[in-house]
Amino acid sequence: AVIHATEEAKRGLLVSVSTSASLALKIAVSRNEHWIAVALFGKSALHYMTNHERAGLGVMHI
């Protein structure tokens, strides 16, 4: 479930990102009795003056 939630968060974060872009991310994992969530938040840039903030979230039933 953790891997699947992480893949979904990554897919949401990496929409239209160049393969040569630098990424700086924060990762959070949270769960309760029946669910697990993975959140990714950070910046991507091809050049230090062109930063874009990005976020991705994946949720999966355990």
pLDDT digits (tens, 9 = 90+) for 11-58: 988 887 777 788 899 999 999 999 999 999 998 888 777 888 999 999
Helix ranges restricted to H, 1-62? 2-13
Task: Please give the pLDDT value at position 37.
Answer: 98
Inter-residue contact 34 to 61 (CB < 8 Å) = yes
Whether the full predicted model's pTM is greater than 0.85, yes or no, is: no
Domains of the chain and CATH, by start? 2-61 (3.40.1510.10)
